[in-house]
Amino acid sequence: MTMLAQTLIAESPYSRVAIVDDDDLFRESLGLNLAEEGYDVIDFANGESALEFLRSGESVEAVLLDWRMPGLDGLAVLRHMREYKIHTPVIFLTVLTDEIYEEAALKWGAVDFIDKSRRLPIILQRLKIITEGGKPSGAGEVPDTVSDRFLLGDLDLRTDINRAFWQGQEIDLTLTEFTIVHFLATRDGGDVTYRQIYDIVRGKDFVAGYGPDGYRANVRSFIKRIRKKFRDVDGHFEGIENYPGYGYRWRKAGADHGV
């Protein structure tokens, strides 16, 4: 643990986060910026020390993780975390922007993948969404449930722990995927646009892909992964319906949509 980590650990109105990056200047700069925003920051120069810290029983609300590091790279750190049943949300901060890296990160349970060149406000926005339980910062985007549990037919969402269950069986969703399911389900039967879904994942009006509608491919990838996870539990799952050219809807409970 560095001197920066020791001096920044204090009572904070925000969450405790870990930065794992072998670039000392980047780690220090980001850590100071996050601390100025009220975050309780702890940092590590390599994956091994971060894993040792997390396996010791210490906890953080999120891990900001570099991909390219000597020794254990970022993906190896994430894989070991999941193997050790450490489910802390992980955000990759990396210069590797190719989709193959993002797909690998999401496959192993990362909740976000951000280019290091993104401005600090973007990183802060994404971090806030994650550390506040996956809820977007914009008022009215996702309504609060009355309790820590949202029930809709065979769907059971535990909003206090961000876990989803279908017909009593847990669905292994990432935090991002859980947020999307919660967003759709709380609008039971209501149509949700591609842009609305992407906004709760990446932050409002974030530009992605090619052309003004480039983000749609990203949303379709998220929905495809979510459907597969539900169908691994229930081969007849049809809870998420397409609205061609517009977006998606959660299949309204008890509605007959035909063949």
The Cα 93–Cα 245 span in angstroms is: 32
Question: Are 14 and 118 within one domain?
Answer: yes
Q: What is the CATH number of the domain that holds 61?
A: 3.40.50.2300
The answer to whether position 140 is within a domain reads no
Whether residues 41 and 126 share a domain: the answer is yes
Comparing 23-27, 129-133, 218-222, which segment has the lowest mean pLDDT? 129-133
Residues 171 and 229 in one domain: yes
Task: Output the DSSP codes for the chain.
Answer: --HHHHHH-S--SS-EEEEE-S-HHHHHHHHHHHHHTT-EEEEESSHHHHHHHHHTT---SEEEE-S--SSS-HHHHHHHHHHTT----EEEEES---HHHHHHHHHTT-SEEEETTS-HHHHHHHHHHHHTTS--SSTTSSPPPSSSEEEETTEEEETTTTEEEETTEEE---HHHHHHHHHHHTTTT-EEEHHHHHHHHH-TT---SSSTTTHHHHHHHHHHHHHHHHHHH-TT---EEEETTTEEEEPPTT-----
Distance between CA atoms of 219 and 248, rounded to whole angstroms?
10
For residue 167, tell me if it sits in a domain.
yes
**Is 179 contained in some domain?**
yes
Give the model confidence (pLDDT) of 120-162 as tens digits. 887 887 787 777 654 443 333 343 444 578 888 899 998 878 8
Angle made by CA atoms 43, 44, 48, in degrees to the nearest 5: 150
C-alpha–C-alpha distance, residues 94 and 195, integer Å:
25
Same domain, 126 and 19: yes
Is 8 in the same domain as 108? yes
Pick the more confident residue, 143 or 237. Answer: 237
pLDDT of amino acid 202: 63
End residue of a domain, out of 102, 131, 160: 131
Split into its structural domains, the chain has a count of 2
Whether 15 is in a domain gets the answer: yes
CATH code at position 187? 1.10.10.10
Q: Which domain holds residue 25?
A: 3-131
Q: pLDDT band at residue 231, thresholds of 50, 70 and 90?
A: very high
Are 146 and 111 in contact, with CB atoms under 8 Å apart?
no
- Both tokens of 61, joined, read 């609300």
| Domain match, 106 and 11 both | yes
Where does the pLDDT of residue 3 fall: very low under 50, low under 70, confident under 90, or very high at 90 and above? very low
Q: Which one is predicted more confidently, 76 or 205?
A: 76
What's the CA dihedral at 156, 217, 108, 31 to 10 degrees? -100
Q: Please indicate, yes or no, if residue 137 is contained in any of the structural domains.
A: no
